[in-house]
Structure 1
Amino acid sequence: MRGLGDHLSVGERIAFYRERRGYTQPVLAGLVGHSTDWLSKIERGVRKPPRIDKLAELARVLRVPLGDLMGQPVLMEDGEKHMDDVPAVRDALMSPRRLSKLLFGRTAERQLPQPDQAQVFVERSWGDYQAGVLGDVIAALPGLLRTAQELEDLPSGDQRRRGLAVSARTHHLAATTLPIEVPAPRLRWTEETEDGWIVLGFDAIEGGRMPAAPWKPDELASTLDACTIKAEALSTPSAALQKVGLKPIGDGSDFAAWRDLTGGATSPIILPEWVPTDRLDALAELETHWRQAVAGDAVLHHDLRQDNVLIDTGGAAWICDWNWPCLAASWFDLVLLLATAHADGHDATTLFEEHPTGRGVDGDQLDAALAALAGFFIVSGAQPPADWSPYIRQHQTWCGEVTLRWLAVRRDWKL
Structure 2
Amino acid sequence: MPSALPIADPAPADGLLPSSVADGAGERDFGVYVHVPFCRVRCGYCDFNTYTAAEIRGVKQSDYAGQAIAEVALAADVLRRADLPTRAAQTVFFGGGTPTLLPVADLAAMLAAVKDAWGLAPGAEVTTEANPDSVDAASLLAVKRAGFTRVSFGMQSAVPHVLATLERTHDPARVPLVVQWARDAGLQVSLDLIYGTPGESLGDWAASLDLALAQNPDHLSAYALIVEDGTKLARQISRGEVAPPDDDLQADMYDLADASLAAAGFGWYEVSNWARSAENRSRHNLAYWTGQDWWGIGPGAHSHVGGVRWWNVKHPAAYASRLAANESPAAGRETLDPETRRVEAVLLRSRVSDGLPTSLLDAAGRTAVAGLIADGLVEGAAALKGRVVLTRSGRLLADAVVRRLLAD
TM-score using structure 2 length: 0.26
Query: Which structure would you say has the larger Rg?
Result: 1
